[in-house]
Chains A and B, each alone.
Chain A
Amino acid sequence: MSTTAISNPAGSSKLAWQVEWRFAAIRNGMRDALAYRGDFIINFLSSALVPVAIQLILWYSIFTASGKTEFAGMTYPELLAYTWTSLLFSQIRGGNYDFDLIEMIRTGNLSTYLVRPVGVVAFTFFRGFGEKLATTGLCFLLGIIAIYFTQYHIHHFIMGMMMALLGNVIAYLFSSTLSASAFYWENAFAVLMVKNMFVSLFSGELIPLSIVPEQYAWVWKSTPFYLFVYGPTQVALGKWDTQIWANNMLIGFAWLTVFWITLEASWRYSIKRYQGLGG
């Protein structure tokens, strides 16, 4: 044989390799997301503007009909600020890579990734995260522009962004754990649809969670979903101080650990049922 199968450059440690392929996957995902720039912008606008328009009309109607100046502790301008800011963070949370995983299991395309010397779930995440980073970059830019014209602070926005990215990782780990159901159930998409419904509700994407009566607040507080949109929005708008932010980041890391363990366990066990269908 003329050469070894894998070259191992001098000084290249296993850690360096682990970092390198992850960055390469992120880069690859970003390029994929930006391959069709027009499509990217249209997707961003359509998925953001329609829900925002509905919310703005809804809040306007509520305030006009009730004649009140405050609703659930928020004034109309505060609700407007919440709606616009949550719009940016809701673009960062999630992504379609959980659906991609189910599709790959169902069609047998997972085989392509299983033979590679990288973890399939981690690989899918980093590629998807790369795609999401492109969106995050756009959101960041829009946020900065908005802050320039308002009284909000940039460091709050950056802290909110950090929480939203942590939320993105948690969302992926949770969704990927659920996607392992595709090893047992052919049409496991329904599981993700139900999950998405709960996430939309408890993440603060549709309504500010402060509207929920205090006696029921434990419901959303006992899920990690509020870290996806509601938490980052509160931080960016200056409603949560650094201490609350740090506490919730810690809670976020605890959730991340829990879902990492459940993800590893569910895939390690379920992969034995994989059949690699489709030729």
Chain B
Amino acid sequence: MNKAAIEVVDVKRSFKSVKKEEGWKGTMKLLFNPDYIVHDALKGINFTIPQGEFTGLIGANGAGKTTLLKILSGLIPASSGSARVLGYDPFKRELAFRKSISIVMGQKAQLWWDLPAIEAFDLLRAIYQIDKDTYKKRVDELTTLLDVTKLLNTQIRRLSLGERMKMEVIGAIIHLPKVIFLDEPTIGLDVLASQKLREFLKRHNQKEGATIILTSHNMDDISELCKRILLIKEGSVLFDGDPHTLTNSDECLLKVKLGTEPSTEELSGVVGIVATAIIKDEEDPTTYLMNVTRSRVAEYFQKLLTKYSVADIGIQEPSLERVIQRIYQQ
């Protein structure tokens, strides 16, 4: 195993905020005697990421993903516990640490809106002390790979979202950081732009050996790029491992098209599985998707035949998105 790039031991983080009650009474109370709410965003997180690993950090909104990234990139301190990135305490924000990391925030522009990307890159060259020849070669290589060479002299504000995000990614990795934090880099991008960015990130990870943590709600990003996922729910790690172990379980989706339109509750009673594991197809009300155990498919099929006429039947592998959705609902 490679040396650890990131080590997180029992990291907790709480946020204190003012509670505002409704109406004038609440406003006056806020002025003279405010109440505070303490929200535990992270409740004791533990993991280690070896150098060069591409890890996915997934979870619902408010699960604590971005808070964790902020702690690891040194933006905010942990309330307790210890986080080390490349051996540094992130919140000390030592110069060598800041030169070795990078963060891309899909919802925040990091380049200057009114300037063309090439001028922003030139400033980053000076900030990260990259010699001019290396810089030119690198900009040329990265922009060619992402197909944005012709846009280098266009103002950032005039670029499309996908083009801007590609420039943001180039700006974030131009100094070849050893650790990269990507916070929803494909948010709002179309299929083609997302795919191009994924291919680029995969190549960069393999070529440069950078350790990358990616948060995304797009499961294509996760399944294509990450060999490992950390699934976070309400500030705790629910799952830590290979995403394929989640989808390669004994579960599968049984898709059936019936001659009638029974309710999911009725179908649940006939087949003997919980109603929440059955979904009625919105476009075709006679088609149902059932989350079932693979080894018992024949048994369920027989039960269906006792009550209904079955027009069609098929088995689908569960998508990562669906598996995670189910874990979240449990």
Contacts and interface: CB of A to CB of B under 8 A. Distances in A.
A17 B123 contact: no
Interface in A249-279: 272, 274-276, 278-279
A112 B110 contact: yes
B162 interface: no
Contacts of A31: 115, 119
Interface string A9-25: 10010000100110111
Given A24-B122, A114-B74, A32 B115 contact: yes
Contact of A115 (B102, B119, B122): B102
30 contacts: A1-B209, A1-B210, A5-B99, A5-B100, A5-B176, A6-B175, A7-B130, A20-B126, A21-B123, A21-B126, A23-B126, A24-B126, A24-B127, A25-B123, A27-B123, A28-B112, A28-B120, A31-B115, A112-B110, A114-B93, A115-B75, A115-B103, A116-B98, A117-B98, A117-B127, A274-B75, A276-B70, A278-B107, A279-B66, A279-B108
A279 B178 CA distance: 23
A111 interface: yes
Interface residues of A, number: 37
A35 B107 contact: no
Contacts of A17: 129
Interface residues of B, number: 46
A-B complex: 9 closest residue pairs judged by Cβ atoms: A24-B126, A9-B131, A117-B98, A1-B209, A35-B114, A279-B107, A21-B126, A112-B110, A117-B99
Interface in B187-205: none
A238 interface: no
The listed residue with most B CB atoms (<10 A of its CB), out of A1, A20, A32, A118, is: A1
Contacts of A279: 66, 105, 107-108, 183
Contact of B114 (A8, A25, A32): A32
B185 interface: no
A32 B112 contact: yes
A6 B128 contact: yes
B73 interface: yes
B114 A111 contact: no
B87 to A, nearest CB: 14
Interface string A224-268: 000000000000000000000000000000000000000000000
A2 B209 contact: yes
B134 interface: yes
B73 A115 contact: yes
Contact of B98 (A12, A111, A112, A115): A115
A131 to B, nearest CB: 11
A95 interface: no
B167 to A, nearest CB: 14
A28 B327 CA distance: 48
A25 B123 CA distance: 6
B84 to A, nearest CB: 17
Interface string B76-108: 110000000000000001010011111101011
Nearest to A17: B129
Nearest to B125: A24
B127 A116 contact: yes
A28 B70 contact: no
A275 B39 CA distance: 13
A55 interface: no
Contacts of B66: 279
Nearest to B95: A117
A8 B129 contact: yes
Interface string A21-64: 10111011001100110000000000000000000000000000
Nearest to B52: A1
A275 B16 CA distance: 10
Nearest to A19: B126
Contacts of B75: 111, 114-115, 274, 276
A23 B115 CA distance: 17
A228 B208 CA distance: 51
A274 B127 contact: no
Contacts of A27: 123
Nearest to A3: B176
Interface string B166-178: 0000000001111
